[in-house]
Amino acid sequence: MYAVIETGGKQYRVSEGDIVRVEVLGTSVGDEVSISEVYLVADGSNVQVGHPMVAGASVKGTVVEEGRGRKVISFKKKRRKGYKRKIGHRQNYTALRIDKIVVS
């Protein structure tokens, strides 16, 4: 069984037991999280597609970790002009363990 959910403006395909890195949710480690923006739920050959969301469906998960991703380097240069700019960025994330996909 899997579902397509949205959180933080991004969509994720999740199954029970998966660990997914999503945008920061503002919760602490060990908290229970319920996501109600479920666009699709599939269980074998039974597929429910929402319009736009599946009515009564939600995904329950537990916050496993909060951290920062690997560094991404942005480098700009203009040749023969003496112009160089180098900046780095590390995106914050929340790691969720998907416990249950609920369809009513």
Per residue, what are the HEC states of the chain?
CEEEEEECCEEEEEECCCEEEECCCCCCCCCEEEECCEEEEEECCEEEECCCCCCCEEEEEEEEEEEECCCEEEEEEECCCCEEEEEEECCEEEEEEEEEEEEC
Please report the pLDDT score of residue 104 as a whole number.
85
Please report the pLDDT score of residue 83 as a whole number.
98
Please report the pLDDT score of residue 72 as a whole number.
98
Please report the pLDDT score of residue 30 as a whole number.
96
pTM: 0.86
- Each residue's pLDDT tens digit, 11-69: 999 999 999 999 999 999 999 999 999 999 999 999 999 999 999 999 999 999 999 99
Query: Which token pair is 98?
Result: 């998907």
97 has pLDDT over 90: yes
